[in-house]
């Protein structure tokens, strides 16, 4: 009986051809916890139908006139039909289909990246053409490239031990899934038509670094990784970031205070191996207040941004040919911010480091009216009690 079910399952798989071998919904059956996290993540919500910010920029983008949704390569790689049209030079505009609404950067598009090809304009994901094979990482299995489902019976068939997945094979031998390089087909950089890098993660790719894209943005959280074998934890698939659970990243931002003759210095340390914020729409801000004798005094907030534009003025990304201003806190940088405000004993300084997902100015320009997208979100808060 079991045999029959397995054959039927693989039969189903084979008819669905490699890269788009399955919709994420199929994975949900055995990976429900991971699926739920993914469903709420910005990887699922990355199309013009599911991300209002992406839509606002696309609506103003000159490629819309040309009917070339080239954003698909990174934003909706599961929409193979659209990608084929793009490749063939035909009109390729997103349609309200399942890939756009339910998949975005889908389970399969992430787990079938065989390697990353490096290019100046943007890197390219090369997907495996092996059927039913998914890449993954697991300590101790680095050498296994073809893990299939098996059952081992012992005690005359009374105890069966199952291993592998009954639905797919697993290739554990791809090092890009251990050091985070598999993220860099989409997250490395993107140049516009003026050969200007609109965004750049500029990650110091150091394999000896203990922390990488995966360990920081997919921390181990409670809950089983699948429904077949027990496991206490799994890698978080909501992807901590600006849109989801920024506070889970707070531990990588350190705030410190020291006093000097003219006031005090707040140091913001970014432990990420990339600039603290990456997308040109973001605005980071340090808000500081001093509590003294029951009163609270707000000091002038300090902002950090990478502003892109032309002729010294901020512009939309497709017009930009240069950096107008870059005060973003860089990879592993400790930024000292000076406040000319003399502290007294028993003062309490409260420092809040946070961000606007879309800077209020840009939100205005884009006609984004949902205030939640352009209001201050807290990343890290620290209180300093001033003593002698
Ligand atoms: C090379 C891959 C790539 C291409 C091509 C690409 N993007 Fe993106 N885009 C990304 C990544 C990665 C992010 C997330 C970056 C981050 O949050 O720092 C992103 C984020 C965005 C955001 C911010 C979304 C948010 O919710 O805050 C907007 C807006 C956006 N892209 C617009 C576009 C448009 C419009 C196009 C096509 C004209 C496009 N992108 C093409 C990779 C790409
Ligand atoms: C019929 C159940 C089933 C379905 C459907 C299924 N999986 Fe799995 N999957 C498993 C099991 C069981 C394991 C654990 C294998 C092991 O422990 O050796 C697994 C393991 C994995 C792993 C490797 C985890 C590791 O050990 O690092 C990945 C990645 C994965 N599945 C992704 C997917 C994706 C993506 C889909 C949808 C295309 C999918 N799975 C559909 C049962 C399933
Ligand atoms: C040491 C931990 C750490 C490592 C390693 C790390 N990040 Fe981050 N990342 C952060 C922190 C902290 C932030 C800023 C807080 C936030 O986004 O809420 C961030 C933000 C981001 C954002 C959102 C930025 C924006 O402007 O929208 C993206 C996308 C991102 N990281 C991708 C990556 C990728 C890809 C890698 C691997 C090259 C990586 N990160 C490595 C900690 C890390
Ligand atoms: C943005 C890329 C991305 C997406 C989307 C994605 N994954 Fe993953 N997944 C990873 C990475 C990276 C890892 C950690 C390394 C590894 O085990 O492959 C991982 C790990 C896993 C694991 C092993 C979990 C563990 O605790 O080790 C399973 C199972 C899995 N993914 C299934 C899925 C399923 C099911 C979906 C869709 C619902 C999905 N993934 C979507 C990148 C992704
Ligand atoms: C196939 C392309 C692709 C791959 C592979 C990919 N991403 Fe993304 N990622 C995107 C796009 C596109 C977005 C922005 C979606 C949006 O908001 O419209 C994004 C968003 C994010 C965000 C949320 C940023 C925010 O503003 O909140 C984080 C964090 C992130 N990715 C981390 C990763 C990590 C870590 C990996 C590797 C394990 C990875 N991504 C692999 C395309 C990709």
Question: Which ligand has the nearest atom to the CA of 373?
Answer: 1
Contact 36, 47 (CB under 8 A): no
User: For residue 241, how far is its CA from the centre of ligand 5 (angstroms)?
Assistant: 9
Ligand 3 pocket, residues with Cβ under 6 angstroms: 180, 183, 187, 201, 203, 211-213, 216-217, 241-242, 246, 249, 252-253, 271-274, 276-279, 282, 379
Q: What pLDDT digit, counting tens, does each position of 172-214 carry?
A: 999 999 999 999 999 999 999 999 999 999 887 666 778 999 9
User: CA distances (Å), 108 to each of 13, 61, 103, 293, 315, in order?
Assistant: 12, 29, 9, 58, 36
| Residue 105 alpha carbon to ligand 5 centre in Å | 8
Work out the burial of residue 206: count CB atoms within 10 Å of its CB; fewer than 13 is exposed, 13-18 middle, 19 or more buried: exposed
In the reported structure, the alpha carbon of residue 117 is separated from the centroid of ligand 4 by a whole-number distance in angstroms of: 21
d(CA 2, CA 31): 20
Contact residues for 332 (Cβ-Cβ < 8 A; gap 6+): 204, 270, 271, 272, 273
- Asked if 33 contacts 40 with a C-beta cutoff of 8 angstroms, the reply is no
> Which atom number of ligand 2 is nearest to the Cα of residue 21?
38
Best residue among 51, 241, 269, 278 to mutate for probing ligand 3's pocket (most ligand atoms within 8 Å of CB) is: 241
**Ligand 3 atom nearest residue 278's Cα:** 26
Q: Report the largest interatomic distance among the alpha carbons of the chain, rounded to a whole angstrom.
A: 81
CA distance 185 to 171: 19
Rounded CA separation 104/123 (Å): 18
pLDDT for residue 11: 33
Distances 384 to 11, 28, 249, 291, 320 between C-alpha atoms, Å: 63, 46, 21, 10, 41
pLDDT of residue 14: 34
Q: Give, rounded to a whole angstrom, the gap between the first and last alpha carbons of the chain.
A: 77
Interatomic CA distance for residues 210 and 206, integer angstroms: 9
Which residue stretches of the chain have pLDDT < 50?
Answer: 1-20
Which of 37, 42, 45, 110 most suits a substitution to test ligand 4, by most atoms within 8 Å of the C-beta? 110
User: Which numbered atom of ligand 2 lies nearest the CA of 27?
Assistant: 37
Q: Considering every ligand atom shown, identify the ligand nearest to the alpha carbon of residue 272 and give its number.
A: 3
Please provide the size of the chain in residues. 388
What's the 199 CA to ligand 4 centre distance in angstroms? 25
- Reading the block at residue 165, the tokens are 């997945």
Whether 43 is in the pocket of ligand 5, judged by its Cβ within 6 Å, is yes
Cα→Cα distances 280→123, 215, 275, 305, 316, Å: 19, 24, 12, 8, 10
């Amino acid at each position: 009986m079991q045999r029959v079910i397995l054959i039927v399952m693989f039969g189903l798989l084979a008819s669905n051809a490699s890269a788009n071998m399955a919709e994420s919904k199929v994975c949900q059956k055995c990976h429900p916890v991971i699926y739920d996290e993914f469903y709420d993540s910005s990887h699922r919500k990355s199309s013009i139908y599911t991300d209002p910010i992406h839509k606002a920029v696309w609506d103003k983008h000159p490629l819309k006139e040309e009917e070339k949704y080239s954003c698909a390569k990174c934003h909706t790689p599961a929409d193979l039909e659209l990608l084929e049209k793009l490749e063939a030079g035909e009109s390729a505009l997103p349609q309200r289909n399942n890939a756009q609404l339910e998949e975005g950067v889908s389970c399969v598009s992430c787990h079938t990246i065989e390697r990353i090809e490096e290019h100046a304009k943007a890197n390219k994901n090369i997907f495996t053409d092996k059927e039913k094979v998914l890449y993954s990482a697991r300590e101790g299995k680095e050498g296994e490239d073809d893990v299939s489902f098996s059952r081992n019976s012992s005690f005359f068939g009374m105890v069966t031990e199952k291993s592998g997945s009954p639905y797919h094979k697993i290739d554990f031998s791809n090092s890009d899934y251990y050091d985070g390089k598999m993220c860099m087909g989409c997250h490395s950089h993107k140049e516009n038509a003026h050969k200007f890098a609109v965004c750049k993660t500029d990650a110091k790719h150091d394999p000896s670094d203990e922390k990488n894209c995966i360990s920081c943005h997919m921390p181990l959280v409670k809950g089983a990784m699948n429904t077949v074998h027990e496991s206490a934890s799994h890698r978080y698939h909501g992807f901590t970031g600006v849109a989801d659970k920024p506070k889970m990243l707070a531990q990588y931002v350190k705030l410190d205070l020291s006093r000097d003759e003219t006031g005090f210095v707040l140091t913001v340390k970014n432990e990420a191996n990339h600039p603290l914020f990456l997308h040109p729409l973001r605005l980071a801000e340090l808000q500081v207040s001093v509590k003294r004798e029951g009163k609270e005094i707000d000091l002038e907030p300090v902002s950090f941004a990478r502003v892109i534009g032309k002729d010294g003025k901020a512009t939309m990304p497709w017009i930009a040919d240069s950096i107008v201003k870059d005060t973003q806190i860089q990879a592993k940088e400790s930024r000292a911010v000076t406040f000319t405000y003399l502290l007294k004993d028993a003062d309490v300084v409260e420092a809040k480091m946070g961000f606007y997902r879309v800077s209020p100015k840009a939100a205005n320009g884009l006609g984004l009216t949902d205030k939640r997208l352009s209001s201050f979100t807290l990343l890290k808060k620290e209180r300093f009690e001033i003593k002698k």
